[in-house]
Amino acid sequence: MSLIPGSGAITRILSLAIALPVSTNQLGGSSDWTTYLSLISYLFFIVLIFYGQRIQMYVMIREVENSLHKLKYIKEEGRKNAIDAIKEIGKPTTDPSARVDRYLEYFTISPQNMDPAGIVYKLDHILDVRDTRLKDEVKLMAPSSDEVQVNNLENTLEAAMALNFIYKVVRHYYIQGKKTLSLYVIMQIQMILPMIMKEAEAYASALKAFAYGQPIGDGAGALVAAKLMHGYELRKLPKDCVMATVQIEGRTAIIIKAEGPGGNVGKPGDAVEAVIEENEGKIANVIMIDAGLKLEGELVGEVAEGIGAAIGGPGVDQYKIEEKLTKYHIPINAVIIKEDIGDAVSPMRKEINDSVDKVIERVKAVILERTKEGDKIIIVGVGNSIGVGQ
Amino acid sequence: MAQNQTSPATKRISTYLMMIVLIVIALSIVSLILAANAYLIGDGLTAGFLAIIGLIAMTMSIFTLYQSRRQAVQMKIEMPKVMTTIECKKCGSKTVREYQRGDYVYKELDACPKCPDTKQIITAIYKEVKEKEKTYNV
Ligand SMILES: [Zn+2]
């Protein structure tokens, strides 16, 4: 809340109000109670001068506290939804609550970066271990779930984990602010609170989508790939990806996406690496399709085109793809579908779903302009393939 | 899942803010009374000043109240309905129904009622956001 301009305006009006009762007194409208009132006004004014910042701080603390209550509610709701989903899908024999609580506190330590050489593969390894560990944990919690459901539950729990983490960080700053009564400690969290709340709401919405297995906005790239490869013969690629060989405009296109419909982003880096090596680098072009963060003011579902490896995440996949492309001098193009963070993790919006055809048109245009007939190209649909088959 | 949930804790408006607003309202009322007083005495200029100050302070505090109320209303988790589109590739029939657990894009469903030899396919799953995003003319 903008109390800073508010309080400024209040003081200005008050100073006028103080000046005026005095003048009325002088003008002859004097009575005892107007004198008292002007004294009270003076007092109020003086209090504001000395304690204005402190009042402002209390207002900020209050604001953070309200958001914290909401975050706690969202977090609890997320935990409950996750437990319900595990009970419903996994049919555990014992109550999974204790295990879920332990899961929510899991942390991952990123590799030491003092000597950054080779850090990508260390990070890759750590993430692999984490993934396996979390999946095993889910299998223990939900014994009767199949592969797709394990993936969905893992994603659900990760959303709950994120909510838990956000709550704890905000709580940390709130308590620290209360303890130190420092405007600047409180200000730090208060300033970014709207963005934090937006993210938390997005995760809450994502959690439900994951629990139900609905496609999310981030899966836009996977959806495009699915549309291109649907009906063709599929082959599995390393680390949870699938590929299909499709003829597009006289070119042989190898379409890659994470295997659906379970919640899974796969490792497109490894998949692209494998395909390029299989073809001994004889690839004319790589086109990557992904959901991209939009700026405020841009439309959801807008399609944009550019150069570079369009892939998010910790950067391991991007690194691997770039390495191989550089080795064989393969050009890379990217097509992105604009959406904001909230759209990316909540159930797919109609605008994004409708933009799939536009993306395919763009991809075809790129193929026609940038490659020759008979060339071999790779098209990668990046994104979480939850709720998207192939 | 289509229900709206509101947390009871977030409905509260900051008591400090409330206190300040109440004080300002009280002062503005006093100012208006003083204005009336001055007007009765015959001091038109002072009456005008006091009336303007009273009205401005009153408007400001009511606006602040309204703003914090609107913030309280915004604190909801909304879950729009998710729809599933089912198509038959042969006759092109298209049906839209609410999402059911287990649906996914390109899932094969039962045979189409019109063409018993073709299976229907889910072609899209999406949510429709009814609320139009506010556009800024810049
Ligand atoms: Zn039919």
Give the model confidence (pLDDT) of A298-308 as tens digits: 888 899 999 99
Residue B1 included in any domain: no
Cα A360 to ligand 1 centre (Å): 26
**Helices within A86-146 (DSSP H only):** 97-104, 119-141
Cα B96 to ligand 1 centre (Å): 15
What ipTM, to 2 d.p.? 0.76
Range of the domain at B121: 82-127
Q: How many domains does chain B have?
A: 2
Q: Over 70: is that where the pLDDT of A185 sits?
A: yes
Q: Over 80: is that where the pLDDT of A153 sits?
A: yes
Check whether residue B40 and residue B62 sit in a common domain: yes
Residue B105 included in any domain: yes
Across the range A138-162, mean pLDDT stands at 88
- Say how far apart CA A96 and CA B29 lie, in whole Å: 60
Q: Which residues in chain A are contacts of B125 at CB distance < 8 A?
A: 214-215, 347-348, 353, 387
Single pTM value for the model: 0.77
Check whether residue B23 and residue B52 sit in a common domain: yes
Out of B39, B55, B74, a domain closes at B74
Q: What percent of chain B has pLDDT over 70?
A: 78
Q: Which one of B7, B16, B30 has the shortest CB-CB distance to A69?
A: B7
Starting at the edge strand found earlier in the chain, the sheet holding B82-87 runs: B94-98, B82-87, B119-127, B108-111
pLDDT band at A334 (very low <50, low <70, confident <90, very high): very high
Indicate the length of chain A as a whole number: 390
Tokens 């940390």 label which residue? A172
CB distance from B14 to chain A under 8 Å?
A: yes
Q: How far is CA A243 from CA A222, A224, A225, A232, in A?
A: 12, 13, 9, 9
If you ran DSSP here, which 8-state letter would residue A172 be given? H
Cα B113 to ligand 1 centre (Å): 7
Name the residue of chain A whose CA is nearest to B42's CA: A29
Q: Which residues in chain A are contacts of B128 at CB distance < 8 A?
A: 349-350
Query: pLDDT digit string (tens) for A242-254?
Result: 999 999 888 999 9
Across the range A133-138, mean pLDDT stands at 89
CB distance from B15 to chain A under 8 Å?
A: yes
What is the per-residue burial (b if ≥16 Cβ within 10 Å, else e) of A108-137?
eeeeeeeeeeebbeebbebbeeeeeebeeb
**Helices within chain A (DSSP H only):** 3-26, 32-85, 97-104, 119-141, 147-180, 183-212, 220-229, 268-278, 316-328, 341-345, 350-370
Could you confirm whether domain A217-381 is CATH 3.20.20.140?
no
B41 CA to chain A: closest CA distance, Å? 7
Residue B103 included in any domain: yes
The structural domains of chain A, with segments of one domain joined by +, span 57-211, 217-381
Residue B2 included in any domain: no
